[in-house]
Amino acid sequence: MKSETDYYTILQVDPRAEPEVIQVAYRRLAAKHHPDVDSSPDAMERMKLLNAAYEVLSDPMKRREHDMSRFRGQQPTIEDSSTKQRPWWFLVLTVVVLLLLLRFNVRLLLIAAPVFLLLWLLMNWQRQRK
């Protein structure tokens, strides 16, 4: 299985498709591109791709491996919730701690504020590097 091959695209189904939908899509495309029906020179190659895609997507274990390999190559985006939540939670926690320190002692606030700011900047920098 090639990591750059997207079997969902080959079978023209959504990655969240049920096994029944995958089977119907495979049968429809196989009937259309079968070498006995399709006389184009690339019909045999297309049928091999369809068979490989159906073999992987019809087996739950192989499908799970394929899904994981699809996501390994993708870089996390700003919209990705796992990368988006961490710095904001840290920022909220920082504001709460700084407000508590302001209530008790101004000197502690002057020491803690730059430290929290530096940690928040480092977290954002690391997130951008990934």
Selection from 16, 19, 46 nearest residue 31 by Cα = 46
39 vs 26, more confident:
26
70 vs 20, more confident:
20
In a domain, 1, yes or no: no
**Quick one: 66 and 88 in the same domain?**
no
**Quick one: 59 and 14 in the same domain?**
yes
22 vs 104, more confident:
22
In a domain, 12, yes or no: yes
Q: Containing domain of residue 97, as a range?
A: 81-129
Q: How confident is the model at residue 10 (pLDDT cuts 50, 70, 90)?
A: very high
Mean pLDDT confidence for 97-109: 75
124: pLDDT strictly greater than 80: no
CA 72 to chain centre: 7
Q: Are 94 and 84 in contact (CB under 8 A)?
A: no
Q: What is the pLDDT of residues 74-97, one digit of tens each?
A: 644 444 444 444 567 777 777 787
